[in-house]
Structure 1
């Protein structure tokens, strides 16, 4: 859970360090602050089977927890019990991330998709069932300008096997693309071929083999008639991955502060919320011209001129100014 002040709190099962608090305790019943992310303006969080990821407003990606299949994107299979910066995505301009049981998908501002982690069901979309330890661009989606992504899974009855998939949406084409397993939990002898590359729903499915006969070529039913409603699942993951948003400065809000000479308690409360939090302050003054995507140890990503403009503006109301 992320507070308006930007702090991330986690609790629950911590078998693989997926809570990010640096503790080896397997169960943490009460919320604990994830210290390593303190001061970072978070834009979104996502949780998988036993791994977690977050994206900052500046596009920085952090991952932690289980890493048996490389789902943290760090180039190895070692679990992490604290958020770790995914350096391979430094210039990716990440705007959204989704986690499956053991794989991860990342969306860039330009609409590119990269995936990593477990690939056994073809859920990475690279025309193979190999695992990927580092983020890899889904070549089949290059140029498609994807607008939404979601990773999902289902369990096979009786067995402990998982079937995993990825679903993406291209708003300009109004099409859903699917890859992975859509067995809907069938037993092993009833399994259908995995979809190894992204293809539109209601299109022939390429299993990576010759598509000359019915054994290797089939059609995914239309979204409206599918027994398992992919769209419903897609919207569920989208709605449960976004944050409500940390508190940051808005021009209309600042104008309201200035115009109210008395500076009532409600305004003072908002000012304290934002200016008592490093994350909220950083998020308020990020460079809005894509400069924030270059944030690194060398580049702050903060627009200093915007900060100066704010202080000059707020000084028109001395009561609000001193509260800041």
Structure 2
């Protein structure tokens, strides 16, 4: 029987996001726990796909009405009730922040109820989600039009757009308020990730669950079916040419008969626009879903309907799936990128059409990267000493580097230091034991 500290699992699988990259904005947490943002807001026409409208909406920058654009990271006027922020998330046109007292704040465009305030009103500054008061939230994630929260007891809450089943309630209804995902009753979830129109969750035993739109196989269940309820990844059979380790058995042997892959035991997950990444506990990375631009890192452009191990990577400690590109950081602090790079979001000094295999970002060699954030068309990197770097699409000021041109190589933010110390506020008594019974061992949360 093996005993696990549930708090340690939460900490390992939910390293607080000190930066977040949305469609056209970025949000940062500095060393004092204060929020800064840069970028621009959508227009009515962009959000509702009506070209005749041009009025700027209250956007995800959080600086109030009349601030539609910021070209450098600028502190939000709100102090979040004078409580430090510990994690942030950025969706298409909304943002979420988690504070040290486990409160969740949201702001931006409110269509479909993605802000969680019981209506579809827009908010130009952070507003506390009262429906989650007292729930002891430990993680948040923002998709295109929906949001997820994880509480310290391992429960998942969702709200916003539900047309593809991405909320996990067994229907396709929008939810204006956070609603508990009852399908996880009896499970202890340790991480959640909201994608474009799908969602991922990771349970304490390392199992990956997915639900929502199944287009391109991004749910990883071997088909493209929509799932209205969370579904656990099952046994995967592979066979054929294994020269590059693509069969997922930890070797390069060919297999003539379908052979089950040892179960993926994950420690982190990331849902992109139409693809997904899972990081196993041995440091391997598995990818599934849309691969039109090589964002799965498998050396080709074929979609994958089941999790497939990315060959050739050193041991990895963090992953991030963007719109059409992916980022990983190794245990040695090196950053690798792959997928669509036509706006410089891969960081290799060129506007590549795409890279089919993980390639180290040489300009970041030696910086000691500990955080990677893949946005829609730009990328953010955090170093262990608090330095932050950005590259990719410069349009709409989303990089916040004072430039509107695309940046194909990483540039350091000159006046920004992101928080690097572990500051999640976890329940010290929230333990989980495999096999039942009281715990007898604790593990420390390591950053």
TM over 0.5: yes
TM-score normalised by length of structure 1: 0.60
- Aligned counterparts of 1:60 and 1:243: Cα–Cα separation in 2: 24
Q: Give the one of 56, 63, 68 matched to 1:26.
A: 68
- What RMSD in Å do the two structures reach over aligned CA positions? 3.7
Gaps of 5+ in 1: 154-163, 205-220, 248-278, 291-324
Q: Provide the C-alpha distance between the structure 1 equivalents of 2:308 and 2:143, rounded to a whole number of angstroms.
A: 16
Conserved 8 A contact 1:64-1:83: yes
Q: Is the 8 A contact 1:97 1:106 kept in 2?
A: yes
Match of 2:37 in 1: 10
Q: Which runs of 4 or more aligned residues in structure 1 lie more than 6 Å from their structure 2 counterparts after TM superposition?
A: 229-232, 241-245, 286-290
Query: CA offset at residue 193 of structure 1?
Result: 3.6
Q: Which runs of 5+ in 2 are unaligned?
A: 1-27, 43-57, 237-260, 265-285, 289-302, 310-317, 322-370, 375-380, 387-418, 430-447
8 A Cα contact 1:45 1:243, kept in partner: no
- TM value normalised by structure 2: 0.45
Q: Is the 8 A contact 2:217 2:224 kept in 1?
A: no
* Mapping of residues 112-127 of structure 1, within 5 Å: 112-127=155-170
1:236 paired residue number: 320
CA deviation vs aligned residue, 1:194-227 (integer Å, no higher than 9, x gap): 11000112379xxxxxxxxxxxxxxxx9976843
Task: Say whether the 8 Å CA contact 1:47–1:99 is kept in structure 2.
Answer: yes
Tell me whether 1:168 sits opposite 2:211 in the alignment. no
Pair member with larger Rg: 1
Work out whether residues 116 and 177 of structure 2, in 8 Å CA contact, stay in contact via their aligned partners in 1. yes
Which of the two has greater helix per residue?
1
Q: Does 1:79 align with 2:122?
A: yes
How far, CA to CA, are the matches of 1:30 and 1:3 in structure 2? 14
| 3-state SS, counterpart of residue 128 of structure 1 | coil
Secondary structure of the 2:74 match is strand
Partners in 2 of 1:115 and 1:151 — Cα distance? Answer: 10
Deviations 1:115-166 (A, max 9, x none): 000001100000111100000000001221100110112xxxxxxxxxx100
Q: C-alpha separation between the residues in 1 aligned to 2:86 and 2:144?
A: 22
Taking the TM superposition and a 5 Å limit, the aligned residue runs for 1:218-229 are 226=288, 227-228=303-304
Structure with the higher strand share, 1 or 2: 2
